[in-house]
Amino acid sequence: MGSTSPAPVLETHELTRKFGELTAVDRLTLSVRPAEVFGLLGPNGAGKTTTLKMLTTLLPPSSGTATVAGYDIVRQPARVRRSIGYVPQLISADAQVSGYENLWVFARLYRIPADERDRRIREALDFMGLSVVADELVKNYSGGMIRRLEIAQTLMHRPRVLFMDEPTVGLDPLARDAVWEQLGRLTTHFGTSVVLTTHYMEEAERLCERLAILHRGRMVALGTPAELKASLGRPGATLEEVFAHYAGAEIETTGSYRETGRTRRVAVRLE
């Protein structure tokens, strides 16, 4: 990784997904570098989650191509899955078992060798600051602890790319800061790239090296937070203004009842 421009760890070319008449993601072309934190920014319904679902092999694209860790998402899904981690927006840890047991099942599914399994599980829990509560049932965890556990679940197999959908939705500021800090250490420690979606400007600004702003399925802006702010051509522009400029004044108008319900449910469950 010493070279000046390392090969991208993720590349999409004209990636498109249609649902009937609706084009949820429209000819998306972008690339992500190793150890980069890349943000997909956009109002509800902009295509952020659909993009993540395609890149994580959950949803086949309608057209276009993408490679993750060098593997084609359509032709080599099994290899892609071995190289990635995914923390969905909804809760993906199991409340009925302990933190350790939540990791155990994935250590086995990712085929971590038996003699390494326990060490990797403890390491991941330790890394996310959860060693003390490893044997507690997850239903007794706080929202921030659940999120960190969900990230820990994806670390044991050393993913090249970690995908996160709204990683801090529903968290209080303190828990959010903890998640942000661990994410930063992740990229420096493992060289893992992080692709996350968010609609919190503060999160985008603080975490992401580069941002893509999506609007109605299309990428309308791409750059570092500083570049995006400069692109408005007036000094002192904030990221909120950038967002309003590119995504229109639709920040709160497109969320459907269903989406709102989901977001609130997550927020309530994370309490």
Residue type present at position 264 = R
Query: Token pair of 27, please?
Result: 């000819």
Alpha carbon distance 113, 228 (integer Å):
45
Q: Nearest distance from residue 254's CB to other proteins, in Å? A: 20
Query: Stretches 7-15, 151-159, 208-216, 225-233: which one binds other proteins (CB under 8 A)?
Result: 151-159
Instruction: Tell me if 91 contacts other proteins by CB under 8 A.
Output: yes
Convert 157-190 to b/e letters by CB count within 10 Å (16 or more is b): bebbbbbbbbbbbbbeeebbebbbebbeebbeee
Q: Nearest distance from residue 66's CB to other proteins, in Å? A: 15
Q: Nearest distance from residue 54's CB to other proteins, in Å? A: 10
Q: Nearest distance from residue 17's CB to other proteins, in Å? A: 10
Q: Nearest distance from residue 52's CB to other proteins, in Å? A: 10
Among 9, 24, 25, 59, binds other proteins (CB under 8 A): 59
Instruction: Tell me if 195 contacts other proteins by CB under 8 A.
Output: no
- Residue closer to other proteins by CB (options 124, 208) is 124
Which stretches of the chain bind other proteins, using CB under 8 A?
53, 56-59, 78, 81-82, 84-86, 88-94, 96-97, 101, 104-106, 108-113, 116, 123, 126-127, 137, 150, 153, 156-158, 189-191, 269
